[in-house]
Amino acid sequence: MPAQLNALTQIPRLYLAWNTVKAKGSVGGIDGITILEFEKEKRKQIPKLAEELRTGTWKPQPYMEIEVAKTKNPDEMRKLGMTAIRDKIVQHAIKSVIEPRYEKIFLGNSYGYRPGRGATKAIRRVLAECCKKQYKYVLRLDIDNFFDTIDHEILQKRLVATGTETEIVRLIMLCVQMGKVKQNCLEWVETEYGTPQGAVLSPILSNLYLHSFDQFAVSKNVPYVRYADDFLFLTETKEQAEEILARTESYLKEKLKLALNQPPEIIDLNDGFDFLGITIKDKKASITEKKRADLTDRINTLDFDMDGFPLKSNRVWEGISNYYGKLLPQEDLEYFDTVLLKRLVSIVHERFDTFGSKSNLQFALGTFSFLSLQYQLKKKQFSSEIIAEYIGEKLKERQTVDAKKNRKLIQERKKEYRKLEAETSGLLVNKPGMFLGLTSRGVTISQKGKVVAQHHPDNLSQIVITGQGVSMSSNLISFCLNRKIPIDFFDNQGTHIGSIINSKYMQNTLWAKQADANTLQRNTIALGILEGKIKNQYALLKYFNKYHKSRYPQLKSKMEMMEKVAEDFKTWKKKAKPDDEDFLQKLLGHEAQVAIRYWDYIRELFSDDNVKFEQREHQGAKDLVNSMLNYGYAILYVRVWQALLAAHLNPFDSLIHAQREGKPTLVYDMIEIFRSQVVDRIVISLVQKGQDLEVRNGLLTDNTRQLLVKSVMERLARYEKYQGEEMKMEQIIQKQAKLLAKVFEGTAKFKPYVAKW
């Protein structure tokens, strides 16, 4: 067996080739086999490869053609040929056989893809040549589409001329001429010219192809340096450069069937020139602003963790270090070190918790080197600064955790005291024979001459009397009038009998403007009020649905129907015109549809609460839920009435409900915004919490009435976020009344209160 073929088919050589492929983490080809998959089969596959090479039956897979943007021109695409893992092993083995022979004949002027050489040495050679005083010009050239235009016949002749064995030549040409298959389909593409970019053998074959050109270039007796298809000549005169250019073009065209990229460049050395990403000027290496920005971007994408740079980031930094770190002046290297330092600090700030401990970070910082001498000497100092940032972030995290814990504790206390405030803001009196008085200790409640309760007056906002035979002192009445604390009287059915309120409530300064409002103004306000009602009903259902939908699947369809009518209203509102003659009628139609679906959902919600709620009933209701709702609305009704009076509005001049003599119909309008969130929510919660609730002979029991009134009063005194600040519900009602007043004055637009759910 010929020596080269015998060497190629040795299993140890193929294993070495496999280790090279594995170490590079190579991507597979069209057959889809990965490094990990081949690893599992290597003991079977490598001997099989050796046998196929010995018997001449090895048949490589086609290259998988992919396109990537060119570095120099991102708008142009470069076609790469991805080789199957199995075939990569063979090509690496072939390369290991032919490379020692070829290296003996290659000239020292060639630096690309050769062991012990590379771009760094190419640049140093150019810098050394530029220092020779006699050279004034540089002829900088590169070959157009070099890898894709290599002539196969010429290449084969070059292979034979080097003494490469016939079977090795055949295998090489088989690799070169194998077709390609496009990545996204199985369309076959013939390979008539070129060597596939990305194939293992392509670089060494490209150097062999241009070897005769290297010999030609050296014969010109001027400095010549080539890296792959980029090369340059240094000349004493421009005319000499032009003569070499002409002969170069001719040689490449006639001997190698290649062409130069146009236009070729003849540059005065004093002006500086670019070669392999480096700018050479004044006999020094630097980089362009574009390249500086590119390297900065690459550094700013580096990752860093407790083990240092991950593999991908480590390759990027090593690439910069091994090339630019050996060529650029210290000021440039210090710039990139500064970029890296900032990147590391930003990672520590953003992901300090991934390092686990100070010692882990310390270890990670010891796994790499800076580029510049200055930074290398101060590495301990910079590492200490980064660790200090890490410790600062850990401390900040601890402070954040502590602050969060403290905020939680404060909020818990705040909630407790807000609840106490709500519980003490209203005074409910519901038993006959009680006397309310005022002493130095506050409001006192006495029965049969004995003080049974005391109430601090500073937090008092309402007194509600629901029992008969209750009396009070004139001092207390005077105190309440001065403090604008209303005293409201209700009978046992929840009917509001009357209130003792300050005469200032009765100012009627806006009654005339209210009466003069035209239809457009009235309908616009009516739309705002009912929009608020619909949104608050919808929000309440969403609140309860959030907690009950998993337990009550039948609620899903009810919620979907509510969503539909709410969406229908929203769609109608976009097109509706408040000055249309039938506007209010259509508005009320939508409000009615929403109400049907709203109460339909609530009926289903109560289905297993043993309250027998069938439908919403107003006056004369005898069931528990409707009785509680009506009684709760009566409490709310008084608060809305008092808020409208305080805003100097006429409570009898309504916008939605038909005006009736002696009936505060504007109160009926405004209460619509708040019913669901103040009363409905309370009633539903009391029922579902299993409270001891009862109705007898169509009337709420004393205990039920007391619990309901107390709960509604607490709800009115409870805080929530409104217009960017926390305020009690009763204050929100007052704000809405004042806003309505501004609307009638012509200084504002009405925007209803909408609850968060």
Annotate 132-201 with three-state secondary structure.
CCCCCEEEEEEECCHHHHCCHHHHHHHHHHCCCCHHHHHHHHHHHHCCEEECCCCCEECCCCCCCCCCCC
User: Rounded to an integer, what distance in angstroms lies between the CA atom of residue 443 and that of residue 476?
Assistant: 8
- The pLDDT of 219-237, averaged and rounded, is 95
Q: Are 135 and 234 in contact (CB under 8 A)?
A: yes
Identify the three-state secondary structure at position 715.
helix
| pLDDT band at 78; cut points 50, 70, 90 | confident
Query: Residue 740's closest CA among 662, 676, 654, 678?
Result: 654
| pLDDT at residue 75 greater than cutoff 70 | no
Query: Residue 709's closest CA among 436, 476, 489?
Result: 489
pLDDT tens digits for 565-602?
999 999 999 999 999 999 999 999 999 999 999 999 99
At residue 428, what are phi and psi to the nearest 5 degrees? -105, 125
User: Rounded to an integer, what distance in angstroms lies between the CA atom of residue 350 and that of residue 327?
Assistant: 33
Which of 103-117, 136-150, 477-491, 528-542 has the lowest average pLDDT? 477-491
Say which residue, 410 or 421, is predicted with more confidence. Answer: 410
What pLDDT, on the 0 to 100 scale, is given for residue 421?
73
pLDDT tens digits for 622-635?
899 999 999 999 99
What pLDDT, on the 0 to 100 scale, is given for residue 577?
93
| pLDDT band at 505; cut points 50, 70, 90 | low
Give the tokens for residue 184: 């996204």
Tell me how many helices (H) and strands (E) the chain has: 27, 23
| pLDDT band at 420; cut points 50, 70, 90 | confident
| pLDDT band at 620; cut points 50, 70, 90 | confident
Which of 57-66, 178-187, 504-513, 568-577 has the lowest average pLDDT? 504-513
What pLDDT, on the 0 to 100 scale, is given for residue 690?
86
pLDDT tens digits for 25-42?
878 888 889 999 999 999
Q: Are 621 and 635 in contact (CB under 8 A)?
A: no
Say which residue, 625 or 486, is predicted with more confidence. Answer: 625
Give whole-number Cα distances, 287 to 117, 246, 335, in Å: 21, 30, 12
| pLDDT band at 73; cut points 50, 70, 90 | low
Instruction: For residue 362, list its beta bridge partners.
Output: none
| pLDDT band at 352; cut points 50, 70, 90 | confident
What's at 215, amino acid-wise?
Q
Query: Residue 628's closest CA among 729, 689, 714, 712?
Result: 712
| pLDDT at residue 481 greater than cutoff 90 | no
Residue 756 burial (C-beta neighbours within 10 Å; 0-12, 13-18, 19+): exposed
Mapping DSSP onto H, E and C, the string for 636-696 reads HHHHHHHHHHHCCCCCCCCCCCCCCCCCCHHHHHHHHHHHHHHHHHHHHHHHHCCCCCCEE
Residue 59 burial (C-beta neighbours within 10 Å; 0-12, 13-18, 19+): exposed
Q: Is 298 left (phi over 0), alpha (psi -120 to 50) or beta?
A: alpha
| pLDDT at residue 371 greater than cutoff 80 | yes
Query: Residue 685's closest CA among 649, 715, 705?
Result: 715
Q: Where are the beta strands (DSSP E) in 392-531?
A: 426-429, 434-439, 442-447, 450-455, 462-465, 471-472, 487-490, 496-500
pTM of the model: 0.55
| Percentage of residues of the chain with pLDDT beyond 70 | 98
CB atoms within 10 A of CB 717: 22
| pLDDT at residue 425 greater than cutoff 80 | no
Instruction: For residue 65, list its beta bridge partners.
Output: 81, 182
Which pairing describes strands 284-286 and 426-429: parallel, antiparallel, or unpaired?
A: unpaired
At residue 450, what are phi and psi to the nearest 5 degrees? -110, 130
User: Rounded to an integer, what distance in angstroms lies between the CA atom of residue 77 and that of residue 306?
Assistant: 38
Place of tokens 């401990």: 357
Query: Residue 195's closest CA among 186, 182, 208, 184?
Result: 208
- Across the chain, mean pLDDT equals 90
Instruction: For residue 149, list its beta bridge partners.
Output: none
Question: If you count them, how many residues does the chain have?
Answer: 757
Query: Residue 324's closest CA among 314, 309, 334?
Result: 334
Residue 662 CB contacts under 8 Å (≥ 6 apart), including other chains: 652
Give the tokens for residue 30: 């069209």
